[in-house]
Amino acid sequence: MKEKLIDLFEYTYHFNHEMIKIISENISKIDEKTISLINHTLNAQQVWNSRILGEKSFEVWQINHFENLQDINHQNFQKSIQIVEKSDFDRRIEYQNSKGAKFENSIFEMLFQAINHSTYHRGQINSLLKQTGIEPVLTDYIFYKR
């Protein structure tokens, strides 16, 4: 299980990196929604990692300095791998969402949410890139594995 989750976080890291890169290369054509979504994608992974580790987290919709996004992506990746390598996936964690509601989920569920959530938003970003005339990044997992 650990190896599969590490693979999925490597995939997430790789395509977050590629998204940041294509946005950077086309920054003059990029709208606020795209900037908001790439930030949210990274922020959400940081939030899930922080919930698991009991650390201070970002706001889910905060806008970070664009030049820091690659570093945030890298830090997220390192923290996620640390969690995968050291955690009992069945352990349940209590946390509050961004609206203050209380929930409890297993570490596995939280990790899978972080992966799935980023895939969803990369799809949205690709749609916005295409609407702007920018060639979308092929982010399907199977392309990554080929």
Residue 40, annotated as binding a ligand: yes
At residue 98, does pLDDT exceed 90? no
pLDDT confidence tier of residue 8, bands split at 50, 70 and 90:
very high
Residue 117, annotated as binding a ligand: yes
Burial class (CB in 10 A: 0-12, 13-18, 19+), 146: exposed
**Residue at 53: amino acid letter:** L
Q: How far apart are CA 86 and CA 6, in angstroms?
A: 12
- DSSP state, residue 97: -
Query: Tokens 């395509």 — which residue?
Result: 15
- Domain total of the chain: 1
Mean pLDDT, residues 127-143 taken together: 96
Average pLDDT, the chain: 97
pLDDT at 33: 98
Q: How far apart are CA 89 and CA 74, in angstroms?
A: 22
pLDDT at 131: 97
Mean pLDDT, residues 86-97 taken together: 96
**Residue at 108: amino acid letter:** F
Q: How far apart are CA 31 and CA 7, in angstroms?
A: 31
pLDDT at 43: 98
pTM summary value? 0.95
**Residue at 47: amino acid letter:** V
CATH number at residue 59: 1.20.120.450
Range of the domain at 121: 2-145
pLDDT at 31: 97
Mean pLDDT, residues 6-32 taken together: 98
Residue 17, annotated as binding a ligand: no
What share of the chain in percent tops pLDDT 90? 97
What share of the chain in percent tops pLDDT 70? 100
pLDDT in tens, 28-80: 999 999 999 999 999 999 999 999 999 999 999 999 999 999 999 999 999 99
